Chain A
């Protein structure tokens, strides 16, 4: 069967930011869906968002309420959300209370009333909230399985997209007939982890199209439910082919050490202890990008954007003008209780908004500390996903990380994230001639050539300045306590090996 023969399933907007991405572009039209979860997990709010996004006067939404939350109170609370448009009531959205028929009659009567209302209103969307309280009622004349089958069949035939909302426990997944009949099953969870509440959404089942698997973080704000896809909303974005372009740091000698600069689309890590100039180098990197017409994002966690810009100004770098011109965005991310995915979405939104080519994360330690404790366990995995997603679309990422200065070891990162990075530049203090001086070395450039030199540098009023040639008169520089050998500088050696072909 070729593509033309296949029935086209329209995808309806969910009205929930981020959820369309998770469900594969939108909710299948005429599908019969369950929203399950514990009380307070956001089921009703999610359903309302779908209703407000899809109801029209011609094809309204019918929202059946049963036992449980009072409809008046539900409307009282739901109208606090920004998506709630009172003007859509009752022309486009009608709330119908079924509690009396549920209490006084059986499931057959319930089906009859739903049928009557649907035939009268010709709705595009039908919600039953809470379906669980309806089917919990004992001594029904109609078998539950039969009721669900007939309800699903009727609503699909009447071209309605349906949500049944219920408080279910996960143990019920196996035996409950409703989960067999449903086309889509949305499970909302909230758990307390230390002092934080962590909300997760899972699409357990969705017939007809691919959804993004796994648990997705979501948040309930005054705008309603907002979901954060594990793919960061970048599904379907064209992958940029690997570029051979080199991005300058704005530090000529460092560019030389990097064989012309950082490869576009690389993830670069600058590791060093406090005061070694990691942030200064990061600022120079972003400022050089702006100078070359490449918009940039700086995500800061340890100082405010104004302080960051003032510090840049002290190095002669103007970050205020590009901010005004929309070429630079300095994000201050010190949220409490935010998930790593939410924080990363803030970064991604900014990247996409200004078309950023360079991203600085200053620093990973600050980033991790800004997260609520419950999310820190996911930090490395989420960071990996973000770096993979962003570098995949051609953004070059520079992260800074503070490492404990040891005079016996030479660690690259306390986070074991070296595998996330293509290039690593290590900064460190060394004790030379009774002074605490600074050296840098390019540890790796994945698939590329780079200098092996250990170079001394200083932080001046113009930023990082690399001094002289490589240090050849000392041994054990990377230990921090080198030994003077007095060996003179050898004849200039070609610093680079032949070009190595980069892995794609």
Chain B
């Protein structure tokens, strides 16, 4: 079982958006962590910290089956993500911007899978309408419509 393509695409979009729009706002954090933290804030509000932590833990467990590079990553009791590569190299080569996707490290792929898995679980539990509503409120400036490309993502 892999993460749903639609959620992989959405994860890509969010990571692209964070890599591009917010890279100067929180220079110490990778795009993946910023996406994760925003999801955590939004979900914790209505599901509680424990609710988010349980979703994130499950998503991580599923993601590890697809991306062994995530084996060192863990979710703490308050839902914080630890062990994700957020070194300078990643800061200089954010997930999307100008970087050749074919040449991405395995860890980057794992991060996409992790975000896609979180979104996938939300899709499973809450349905597309609520998930997209949540995402739109959290990323009001991001283009989330999938009409611009065959896979729902601008090429």
The answer to whether A and B interact is yes
Interface size class of B (residues with CB under 8 A): 10 to 19
Partner pick for A90 among B44, B51, B55, B133, CB 8 A cutoff: B133
Contact B46 A65 (CB under 8 A): yes
Bound together, the chains give a CA A79 to CA B131 distance in angstroms of: 12
Interface string of B108-136 (1 = CB under 8 A from A): 00000000000000000111011001100
Q: How far is the CB of B85 from chain A (nearest CB, A)?
A: 29
**Do the beta carbons of A95 and B126 come within 8 Å of each other?**
no
Q: Is the CB of A70 within 8 A of B133?
A: no
Q: Check A79 against B51 for contact (C-beta < 8 Å).
A: no
Residues of A within 8 A of B126 (CB): 72, 75-76, 79
A interface SS class: mixed
Q: Is A76 a contact of B125 with CB atoms below 8 Å?
A: yes
Contacting pair A100 B48 (CB below 8 A): yes
Q: Is the CB of B48 within 8 A of A71?
A: yes
A409 to B129, CA, bound (A): 68
Asked if A99 is an interface residue, CB under 8 A from chain B, the answer is: yes
Question: What size tier do the contact residues of chain A reach?
Answer: 20 to 34
| B47 contacts across to A, CB distance below 8 A | 70-72, 97
Chain A residue nearest in CB terms to B55: A72
Residues of A within 8 A of B129 (CB): 79, 86-87
CB distance from B75 to the nearest CB of A (A): 16
Chain B residue at minimum C-beta to C-beta distance from A73? B125
Does A326 have its Cβ within 8 Å of any Cβ on chain B? no
Q: Given A72-B125, A73-B125, A90-B137 in contact, is the A79-B130 Cβ separation under 8 Å?
A: yes
CA distance A96 to B50 in the complex (A): 13
Report the Cα distance A70→B55, complex, angstroms.
12
Q: How far, in angstroms, from A96 to B46 measured CA to CA in the complex?
A: 4
Check if B45 is an interface residue, CB within 8 A of chain A: yes
In the assembled complex, A335 has its CB within 8 A of some CB on chain B: no
Flag whether A11 is at the interface (Cβ < 8 A): no
Most A CB atoms within 10 A — which of B45, B46, B125, B137?
B46
- B142 beta carbon closer than 8 Å to chain A: no
In the complex, what distance in Å separates the CA atom of A87 from the CA atom of B125? 16
* Interface presence of B49 (CB below 8 A): yes
Distance in Å from the Cβ of B44 to the closest Cβ of chain A? 7
Residues A86 and B137 in contact in the complex (CB < 8 Å), given A71-B47, A97-B47? no
Report chain A residues within 8 Å CB of B133.
Answer: 86-87, 89-91
A70 contact set on B, CB distance < 8 A: 47, 51
The one of B45, B55, B125, B134 in contact with A97, judged by C-beta atoms closer than 8 angstroms, is B45
Specify the chain A residue showing the minimal Cβ separation from B44. Answer: A97
| A470 beta carbon closer than 8 Å to chain B | no
Q: Give the contacting residue for B137; candidates A73, A91, A96, A99; CB below 8 A.
A: A91
Query: Which residues of chain B are within 8 angstroms of A87 by Cβ–Cβ distance?
Result: 129, 133
Interface pair B125/A95, CB less than 8 Å apart: no
Interface string of A98-114 (1 = CB under 8 A from B): 11100000000000000
| B138 to chain A: closest residue by CB | A90
The distance from the CB of B66 to the nearest CB of chain A, in whole angstroms, is: 23
Query: A95 to chain B: which residues have CB within 8 Å?
Result: 45-46
Residue of A nearest to B128 (CB): A86
Q: Report how far A75 CA is from B47 CA in the complex, Å.
A: 10
A90 to B50, CA, bound (A): 20
Partner of A100, one of B49, B127, B130: B49
Among A413-469, those with CB < 8 Å from B are none
Contact with A along B39-66 (1 / 0, CB 8 A): 0000011111111000100000000000
Q: Which residues of B contact A334 (CB under 8 A)?
A: none
Taking a contact as CB atoms under 8 Å apart, the answer to whether A90 and B134 are in contact is yes
Roughly how many angstroms separate A189 CA and B13 CA in the complex, as a whole number?
49
Residues from chain B with Cβ under 8 Å of A97 in the complex: 44-48, 51
State in angstroms the CA–CA spacing of A76 and B50 once bound together.
17
> Is A94 close to B, CB under 8 A?
yes
A72 to B48, CA, bound (A): 10
User: For residue B131, which residue of chain A has the nearest CB?
Assistant: A86
Task: Report the Cα distance A97→B133, complex, angstroms.
Answer: 18
**Nearest CB in chain A to that of B78: its residue:** A100
Among A70, A97, A99, the one with the most B-chain Cβ atoms within 10 Å of its Cβ is A97
Shortest beta-carbon distance from B155 to chain A in Å:
30
Contact A71 B51 (CB under 8 A): yes
Q: How far is the CA of A98 from the CA of B45 in the complex (A)?
A: 8
**Minimal beta-carbon separation of A51 from chain B (angstroms):** 13
Instruction: Name B46's closest neighbour in chain A (CB-CB).
Output: A95
A-B complex: 10 closest residue pairs judged by Cβ atoms = A86-B129, A95-B46, A97-B48, A99-B48, A71-B47, A86-B130, A71-B46, A76-B125, A72-B125, A72-B47
- With A86-B133, A98-B48, A99-B48 given, name 11 new contacts (CB 8 A): A72-B55, A75-B125, A86-B127, A87-B129, A89-B134, A90-B134, A90-B137, A97-B45, A97-B48, A97-B51, A99-B50
Q: List 19 A-B contacts (CB under 8 A).
A: A70-B47, A70-B51, A72-B47, A72-B51, A75-B46, A75-B125, A79-B130, A86-B133, A89-B133, A89-B134, A90-B46, A90-B134, A90-B137, A91-B137, A94-B45, A96-B45, A97-B45, A100-B48, A100-B50
